[in-house]
Amino acid sequence: MTKAGKPAKKAQYTPRLNDEGDPVLELRAPMPNGSVMIQRYPKTRAKALRIDHLTTHSIFNPITDFRDQQLHEPTPEVCFKDVSKATAPNLIHAADAAVFAEMVDGYEGSYSLIHDSIGCSPGAQRNELIQRFQQSYEKVTTFDYLNGILDENNIDRQHNPVPAFGTFKPADSKGSAYMVC
């Protein structure tokens, strides 16, 4: 409530500005291998999209089925609802990719990499990849993501302290016979 007894307006987001003075509408999250995940979720404005000009010879009935479709154009505002829903999964996917990028960086052997699976020849190549995976996995699981996000986005740590939690000890998984421990 304001001093006059009226409901207070919602605080407006003020985006940080780039070197040219334009608003930056993104969240940057550094990864342990040096890459940076950039997440952008602008609010969109719906605009009618009329497709009456499509042929009537389609099996999908485009004139009737898709007549009132919407075209969504980005606006210079951030959609906080979308950012809050997408940040954790995007961070996990970026960390997943960082594990494999770190693992195969500089690797001389043959391998096939498909999404979150890797294939290689048995024997020495397999053993080297397992060792590389365990080292990369340790880096990813011990990386300080939250403070990295604060620093990358020029957010003051004093006003936005990161909670301390977790009991993972990387030494517990070193030398494990399992791929993930």
Q: How many helices (H) and strands (E) does the chain have?
A: 4, 6
Best CA proximity match to 150, nearest among 162, 141, 164: 162
Q: What's the pLDDT at 57?
A: 55
In the chain (181 residues long), the average pLDDT of successive 10-residue segments reads 53 61 79 90 72 55 58 74 86 91 89 82 86 88 88 82 72 66 42
Enter the tokens of residue 88.
Answer: 């954790």
95 CB neighbour count, 10 Å cutoff: 20
Q: Are 26 and 17 in contact (CB under 8 A)?
A: no
Residue 150 DSSP SS3: helix
Enter the tokens of residue 131.
Answer: 């060792």
For residue 167, which amino acid is it? T
Best CA proximity match to 174, nearest among 143, 148, 152, 142: 142
Q: What's the pLDDT at 56?
A: 53
Query: Helices 124-142 and 80-104 sit at what angle, rounded to 10 degrees?
Result: 150
Q: What's the pLDDT at 114?
A: 82
Report angle CA 11, 17, 21 to the nearest 5 degrees. 125
Q: What's the pLDDT at 12?
A: 44
C-alpha 74/C-alpha 79 separation (Å) is 10
Enter the tokens of residue 70.
Answer: 């919407």
Report angle CA 173, 176, 180 to the nearest 5 degrees. 70
